[in-house]
Amino acid sequence: MTKYTIYGLLLLLSTLTFSSCKKFLEERSPDEIKPETVADLQSLMNGEAYPYQIVTDTYVDLLTDDIQSNGLGRTFDGNPDDVYLPYLQNGTRVFKWDARMFDGDPILSLGTDSWSIYYTKIKGCNTVIDNLGKVSGSAEQKNALLGQVLFLRAYYYLKLVTLYGQPYSGVGIDPNVSLGVPLILNSVVTDQYPVRNTLKEVYGQIEKDLLEAAGLLKANFTEASTFRVGHIAAYSLLTRLYLYMGRAEDMDKVIQYANLVLTERPVLTQMKSFFDAGGFSGGKIYDVTVSPEVVWVYGINPNAPNGYFPEQRNDRPPYTVSGSLAALYETSTEADDRKDLRYSGYFRMGSVNNAAYLLGNGKIGSIPKYGTDGIRIAEVYLNRAEAYAKKFLNGDVSSAAKANADLNTLRASRYDTRNVAYQPVNYSNANDLFKFCQDERRRELCLESGHRWMDIKRWGLNITHHFIDADGTMTDYTLRSGSLIYALPIPFTATLKNGRLAQNPR
């Protein structure tokens, strides 16, 4: 083969689990494999572009104030629980915001190499795009595939740039100069390694892909399930993109696309419906069988133990939900009025000596074989509420009522209103309203899709971690507003392969 080869030929080899793709692969030698029909490309897209049960970003919550350190648990005889030791060690560098947090193969094997994981998926998107003109099929079929892979490519680039780049509108950040990530927009392999594009270039490409995807999907594709993306997903992701860009002019675009979403899909899951005759039934916000607000879902089930969050044994695991997050919820022990149902519905519960605490993400049950990454209608309400709140901060008094309305619409769906009516909030002070928006985002979007980490970055928050080591010694580490670590270190495996890849400064 020449050095200029479509790496789709290699990608196709990894899609053997997909029957339609497997058939045509088996009939050809590796050097002759070429997709010939739209169905071939769809199989490739399903296997190489969609995320499915992708394991990535498992570490991101450790960077935030939603997780606390508990040190090393103890066995019944009072000795350190060595089973917990690897979990404590795995999370140590990340929890401390260590600039070398991604140095070393063991840590990269735990889903922390978001760089290579997302670029592999981008490669799959580019392969589909580059082969669309070479296969048989109708224009509608091809445009449906193109819309999906453009959305997915934009989604992965937004993930990458929010992990490895500074916030677009951060204090002292010039998006025309500040580095984002390399833009790779075709599947041709060359001898030239890519350099990092600027934040402006990366965000501009994401916007371009999403706008094109939205039009193509609306005109050509109706998703059959929440495991596929349609135009509502594209509109929703545009609200996230513009909110992250954060300029005054972007707030109008957040509102514009949120309006498009909520005109078609205004429904939120009423958490009171999770009660049955026996009490709280344990319905979950990301369970697509009971939660109509899920737009798109993927990922691994967070109930499964991973390298940072094991199942509880005799004491609290090394890392659990922080007390500061737990304290944000209005709770009650009254059987007929449980107040904010997210407290009992969004977390797994642990107990030590009959004292309950929040163990981890409980937004999906233990049975579903998918996770809690993706897009929900609740986020769109919150994005629009924040956009209105920012307009209020800038002097648009009429936006206050609209922000309050969106917040109340969301909160009314989250409170126990079986017997007691929800009491609306009504903030008339701009700063108070914005602070409430921030807290409401944290309550609603906690431990999900890296939302809190990006919110900390774009709002420039100071947070302090109290790290407890294996010996029980506590040391404080503070992430200052505007920290260099807002742009996470690029994994050493990526910089080792590509000498032109500039590492983030420390």
- The residue behind tokens 């002097």 is 395
Q: How far apart are CA 458 and CA 162, in angstroms?
A: 10
Q: Are strands 294-298 and 67-69 parallel, antiparallel or unpaired?
A: unpaired
Q: Dump pLDDT digits (tens) for 196-222.
A: 999 999 999 999 999 999 999 999 999
Confidence tier at 5 by pLDDT (50, 70, 90): very low
Confidence tier at 11 by pLDDT (50, 70, 90): very low
CB-count exposure of residue 229 (10 Å: 0-12, 13-18, 19+) = buried
User: Which is nearest to 42 in space by CA: 159, 187, 143?
Assistant: 143
Give the per-residue pLDDT at 229: 98
Whether the per-residue pLDDT at 80 is higher than 90: the answer is: no
Q: Which residues contact 485 (CB under 8 A, 6 or more apart)?
A: 97, 99, 479, 506
Q: Dump pLDDT digits (tens) for 431-488.
A: 999 999 999 999 999 999 999 999 999 999 999 999 999 999 999 999 999 999 999 9
Set out the domains of the chain in order of their start, with CATH numbers.
38-497 (1.25.40.390)
Q: DSSP letter at 209?
A: H
User: Which is nearest to 253 in space by CA: 237, 270, 269, 267?
Assistant: 237
Q: How many CA atoms lie within 13 A of 392 on its CB side?
A: 24
Average pLDDT, the chain: 90
Whether the per-residue pLDDT at 29 is higher than 60: the answer is: no
Confidence tier at 227 by pLDDT (50, 70, 90): very high
Q: How far apart are CA 340 and CA 332, in angstroms?
A: 8
Q: Which residues contact 10 (CB under 8 A, 6 or more apart)?
A: none
Whether the per-residue pLDDT at 279 is higher than 90: the answer is: no
Decide: 194 and 215 in contact? Cβ < 8 Å: no
- For the record, the structure tokens of 115 come out as 């760089």
Q: How far apart are CA 413 and CA 421, in angstroms?
A: 11
Q: Dump pLDDT digits (tens) for 235-266.
A: 999 999 999 999 999 999 999 999 999 999 99
Q: How far apart are CA 498 and CA 495, in angstroms?
A: 5
- If one counts every other C-beta atom within 10 angstroms of the C-beta of residue 359, the result is 21
**Cross-strand partners of 74:** 80
Whether the per-residue pLDDT at 12 is higher than 90: the answer is: no
**Cross-strand partners of 361:** 347
Q: How far apart are CA 331 and CA 458, in angstroms?
A: 29
Give the per-residue pLDDT at 335: 86
Whether the per-residue pLDDT at 28 is higher than 70: the answer is: no
Give the per-residue pLDDT at 19: 38
CB-count exposure of residue 151 (10 Å: 0-12, 13-18, 19+) = buried
Give the per-residue pLDDT at 16: 32
- The residue behind tokens 């501009």 is 204
Decide: 342 and 268 in contact? Cβ < 8 Å: no
Q: Dump pLDDT digits (tens) for 93-135.
A: 999 999 999 887 656 667 789 999 999 999 999 999 999 999 9
